[in-house]
Each structure stands twice: as C-alpha cells, then as structure tokens.
Amino acid sequence: MFKKILIANRGEIACRVIATAKKMGIATVAVYSEADKEARHVQLADEAVLLGPAPSRESYLVADKIIAAAKQTGAQAIHPGYGFLSENEAFAKRVEDEGMAFIGPRHFSIAAMGDKIASKKLANEAKVNTIPGWNDAIESAARAVEIAKGIGYPVMIKASAGGGGKGLRVAFNDKEALEGFTACQNEARNSFGDDRIFIEKFVEQPRHIEIQVLGDSHGNVIYLNERECSIQRRHQKVIEEAPSPFISDATRKAMGEQAVALAKAVKYQSAGTVEFVVGKDQDFYFLEMNTRLQVEHPVTECITGLDLVELMIRVAAGEKLPLTQADVKREGWAIECRINAEDPFRNFLPSTGRLVRFAPPAQSMYQGDTNALYGVRVDTGVQDGGEIPMFYDSMIAKLIVHGTDRLDAIAKMREALNGFIIRGISSNIPFQAALLAHPKFVAGDFNTGFIAEHYGQGFRAEDVPHADPDFLVALAAFVRRKSRERAAGLSGQLPGYGVKVGHDYSVIVLGSTGEHRYKAVHVDEVVGQIGSAVVTVDAQRYAISSPSRLNDISIAGTCNGQPFTAQIERGTPRNPLALVVQHNGTRIETMVVSPRMAELHALMPFKAPADMSKYVLSPMPGLLVEVAVQPGQKVQAGERVAVIEAMKMENVLFAAADGVVSKVLANKGESLVVDQPIVEFG
C-alpha cells in the first residue's frame, strides 16, 4: 500500500480524498494556487505545494508542476479527483512513466472512453445502442449547421473533452447551431485546452441515468447500481439520487451488464461511470463514459456501504476487488444536493466573495466511514470566513442524506437544507428547497427538462410557496417575544420605565415594492416552560418550543408537537429592526412591533429605488473580458454589449432596449463587483 499520495485537485474533492487517505494511514500532499493558499484542503493535508497563479491554466492544469510536486515530496501515487487533469490521458501516462501510480484508470482506457468521439465509435463496434449523431470533430461553424440540419433539430453540440456543463449547447435552429458551436469551442478551449466539437440528436424528454462501475487490474469488473441525475439546469446536475425512482430491476440489470461489458472492452480498472439517456419506455442509449470519480459518488456509497475512494486506492495499488457482483448491496435511498455559490433570484449568476458565515447542518455520516449510514453528510472544501474565488467552479458543498425510502430521504434533505447557514454570498439553497417540495419531484415524475419546464422564466421568491405561511409569522413573533422577556428580566431598570413584555403584537411582513402585510398576533407564555409560548395568528394556534439561544441563526424546536429547523436573522443592511425568517426555502422580512406602531407604519410613504434602466450593470462579480460597444454607437435591443467571465463560464450581456451609448464606464480586463455600471446609455 502507498505511504504517501498527492491529490492533484482542490475544493471538496481534495478534502474527500484526504479523509479516506487518513483512514488508511496514508500521508497526503495538497497542491494549491495563490487563490487557494488559505483553502481547507491545504490545511487538512500533511504537506502542501504551491503550483502558481490563480487561473487553473497556470496552476491546476499544469502537469509539469504537479509531477514536480509529487517528486519533490516523495509521493508514490497521484489522485486526480474530478475535473482538471482527471481525464487527461497524457497526464495519466506521464504519471505512469515517472514511476508513480495514477489513482484512476490506465491511460489507454482514458484514451478510449474519455474522448466522447472515440468512445461512441467504440460503443458502436461493441453493438451498444447509441444516439444518432456526427462522431468526427467538426471543423467550422458553417459545417456544424449543415450537419445539424442533416441530423434534424433539436441537436446537442458537445465538446469532445467537455464535462460539468461546459462546452455544451442545445440548438433548435440554424442560428442557435452557429452561435452554440462557437461558444462551445471557446469554452472547451479555455476549460480543457481541447476545442474539438461533435453533434448528436437531442432526445427530448429524456432521463439521465448513470451506472457506477469498478474494475481492478486482474480483469474483474462489477457495477454498483445506478444514479438518477435527471434534475439538471443548463446540463449541470443539481440533485442526484440512488437508486432511480424510474427504472425496473430488469432495466437496472441490463444497463449494469452493458456498462460492465463496455468497461471490460477497454480493460478498465478503477472507478468509472457509464452514462445513459433513458427514454420513457425504459429504452436506453449509451451517452459517454466518465473515466474518473463522479461528483455524486456519495449517494452510491450510502446505498452500497462502500468507500469508493478507498477502493480506487486499493485497485491502483494492485489489489483485487474485495467483492463480487452478488455482494453489491442496495439499501435505503440517498439524495445529494449540490450547494452552489450562485444567486437563484438573479438567474443563477455566480456569487463570489467572503463566507461571512458557513455553518452546515449537523452531520451523522462522514467521508470514508461506511458504518455510519441513514443520516446527513456534508462534503465541502470551504469553511467559515473562507473566500469563494471567481476562478473555479461554483459548487461549494454537497449535502447528502440517506433515508429508509425516498420520502424519508426527501424529508431529511428538506430539514438539512433548513439548517444550512450560508452568509456573505448567495447560494442556491432556496431553489433546492423548491425542487424538493415540487409535487412532480416528490412523485418521481420528471426528466432532464424538468427545471426548464417549471422554472423556464427564471426562479422567483413566489416559486417557493410555503405550506403554512403563518407559521413564519408566528416564529417571528415568538423570537421577538423571547427577546422582550429577556430584556424585561435585566436588572437596574428605572421604576416605571422597565421593558414591558405584552401579549399583543403586529407582525409586518415587508414587501420589496411597498405592498406590506400586517398580521395581528397574540402571544401567551407557557407557565413553567422556558423557551415555550403559544402564538395565535388569525385564530390559528402555534405552540412553539425551542431550546435555541436568542443569538442563534439556526433555530430548532417543535411547533404543535412537530419538529422544525428554521433560520432567523436580526437586522438587515437597510433595516436594523427587521427579523428575517427562512424555512423550507421561503424567506420573509418582518418587523414585530406594537399594534400602534403598525398603524403608523402603514401611513409611511414607500420610497422607490433609483431608476438604473439607462445602465448595463454587471449582474455578478467577475472579469470583464470584452466591451463590444463604444461611445456614440447606436445599439438595438438584444445586441451584445459586454462579456463577463466568472467561475469558468462566459456570460454575455445584451442591451435591454434601443439606445445610444453615452459612456463606457469599465475597461476590458477589469474585475467587476455586482451591480457595477459597465455602459451608460444617453
């Protein structure tokens, strides 16, 4: 067994590999860029080596620097994680040539299966069902349009080296095919250094189901059931689960055996994933093989009780698989939510900056521990006070739950999301909460178009209807009442001027455009029970009890005997008197005041925000890579104005209306903050 391994990655996956290595008694070496010098994976590893500047092409993608770091520290093996160089055959071969073990498949397997064009040809030869398409690299955008027309729209334009939603577009007409080809080529060149593009038929209403395979160097290959990955936004997975609520045992077996046959054809060793697109009649087609560990591997670990990272390390050290196909278990139901640094209410634009608060829910399952199951696990590469840089992927954590069945797992996940505290940046937690509550998701009735169909116009606060909105009002009144009780108990108050607790309050639910709601609330204390009260809202009675302290953001307790977890914040930058309540993805801003104060508040005029319609504002923090207009230029609505790059994605800004450019307020190469003006129209 190896004594020391180097992890050629960052973030949560680097931390994940370190956890298993520690369990196995293996020393670890982290590598990091200048942007990651304070990162969690650097602190967890036994040694750390600086690779270079923040951009990944100058650090995490430089094979020479990683090999040099491994030699310098005496590492015997390299684990590539996912992304970066994990599916780069030249890197895998170089590691082998340098006398180290690559903790992943052999370079020839990566060459055969990691390249989408080559893998499709190989699958065809092996008589595996594949989707119609053009399997050779396409030389130009014009040729891409010709091919797309020949296949028939809609088509999927994909980068051969793509992954994680990068270098992928769906085109429904010639214009989209032309633009999509160019955008895919640019993204692929920047992210993977390989701009080869191919096209295939886009199967409408498909499910994305993948099979986890595991092979060793002795010719053994098994499959570890499937993962349902159909809940995707812009081809990036949002929620993954195992098993799938859709396929039958017969389909599972057929897909698994086909995946194993394909893996054996390329002498596959290590963990890998064979992805299938599955039609409504459970007919399935091979999509591609990911020759690496997947982001969503924890859900497979939960239902099988296996540590996939440990098995990868053991296989790389030459050991045989410790189990056969008959030994593979499928117990309970696991769900993973990807927690991303993005603002769901601003079209999911990246959100970077400092994590003022980062407090995940309490864990009962841990990385590498296959004994503790049926609970909550958090895989992350960040910590309280850490920085979310704009140079890398937007995923900051994975929240995993394991339940006895699917409904139990959904309930556990909703409760865990309620207790996940992230402040300082925006996160997609409200969106995840909305998805988990959607009746079609709960029923298992969805496909890869689910998010586009139900949230096609973007995501708004009203898309998260709360089952009992008055509960949030009652919770605000409860917290305010408890703080008044504490204030009344402070010593040294002047006689006649002490804080009066009172029983009647008014909860003002503040609206962003002045449409406030006023709720009359009555609060009775429960004699002899500290931290308890009965709150009445519109004749509805809420008996709330909570041991949480007044300054806790996350508040847990029971309401009418049912457990709950919610988040309460005191004060906002605009309103220090506000109480912000968050539960099941719904967030309300309230003021809990006396009935008289509520009457006066209703008379206050609403101050509308300043009109910024004549500016093009940066919708997120990022790098301004292009300004496409100049002062005096006439611009039509929909015309390209600027391009911003953040978290490895290009975002094009378009003019909202016709106008003439009066000023360009930001320069190419400038780092922008959110809402910074770029262009002003006259």
Ordered domains of the chain (ranges, CATH): 4-103 (3.40.50.20), 133-201 (3.30.1490.20), 207-463 (3.30.470.20), 469-488+500-601 (3.30.700.30), 615-681 (2.40.50.100)
pLDDT band at 118 (very low <50, low <70, confident <90, very high): confident
Q: What distance in Å separates the CA atoms of residue 334 and residue 306, rounded to the nearest whole number?
A: 13
Average pLDDT, integer, range 522-550: 91
User: Is 275 known to be catalytic?
Assistant: no
What is residue 507's three-state secondary structure? strand
Render pLDDT for 81-90 as a digit per residue (tens, 0 to 9).
999 999 999 9
pLDDT band at 132 (very low <50, low <70, confident <90, very high): confident
Q: What distance in Å separates the CA atoms of residue 49 and residue 32, rounded to the nearest whole number?
A: 6
pLDDT band at 341 (very low <50, low <70, confident <90, very high): very high
pLDDT of residue 472 exceeding 80, the answer is: yes
Full-model pTM:
0.84
Q: Is-contact 413 240, C-beta < 8 A? A: no
pLDDT of 648: 67
pLDDT of residue 115 exceeding 80, the answer is: no
- Tokens 């997120």: give the residue: 620
pLDDT band at 229 (very low <50, low <70, confident <90, very high): very high
Quick one: DSSP state of residue 130?
B
Write the CA distances from 408 to 237, 301, 304, integer angstroms: 22, 18, 18
Render pLDDT for 52-97 as a digit per residue (tens, 0 to 9).
999 999 999 999 999 999 999 999 999 999 999 999 999 999 999 9
Q: What distance in Å separates the CA atoms of residue 128 and residue 266, rounded to the nearest whole number?
A: 14
DSSP string computed for 278-329: E-TTS-EEEEEEE-S--TTHHHHHHHH---HHHHHHHHHTTPPPS--GGG--
User: Could you tell me how far CA 586 lies from the centroid of its own chain?
Assistant: 19
Q: Tell which wins on pLDDT, 489 or 578.
A: 578
Beta-strand relationship, 634-635 and 659-664: antiparallel
Average pLDDT, integer, range 300-324: 98
User: Could you tell me how far CA 676 lies from the centroid of its own chain?
Assistant: 26
Q: Is 492 left (phi over 0), alpha (psi -120 to 50) or beta?
A: left
Average pLDDT, integer, range 452-469: 87
Helices 308-316/11-23 angle, 10° precision: 70
What is the CA angle 408-411-416, rounded to 5?
Answer: 125
- Tokens 């209703």: give the residue: 602
Average pLDDT, integer, range 648-662: 85
Write the CA distances from 253 to 265, 300, 405, integer angstroms: 18, 16, 21
Of 629, 654, 657, the C-alpha closest to 640 is 654
- Tokens 């015309």: give the residue: 639
SS (H, E, C) 237-259: EEEEEECCCCCCHHHHHHHHHHH
- Given the residues 89, 288, 342, 589, the one annotated as active site: 288
Write the CA distances from 458 to 137, 434, 642, integer angstroms: 34, 13, 21
Of 23, 21, 41, the C-alpha closest to 31 is 41
Mean pLDDT of the chain: 92
Residue percentage of the chain with pLDDT more than 90:
71
Q: What distance in Å separates the CA atoms of residue 659 and residue 614, rounded to the nearest whole number?
A: 9
Quick one: DSSP state of residue 609?
P
Write the CA distances from 40 to 384, 396, 654, integer angstroms: 10, 11, 38
pLDDT band at 374 (very low <50, low <70, confident <90, very high): very high
pLDDT of residue 160 exceeding 70, the answer is: yes
SS (H, E, C) 23-89: HCCCEEEEEEEHHHCCCHHHHHCCEEEEEECCCHHHCCCCHHHHHHHHHHHCCCEEECCCCCCCCCH
Q: Which amino acid is at 496?
A: G
Q: What distance in Å separates the CA atoms of residue 535 and residue 478, rounded to the nearest whole number?
A: 7
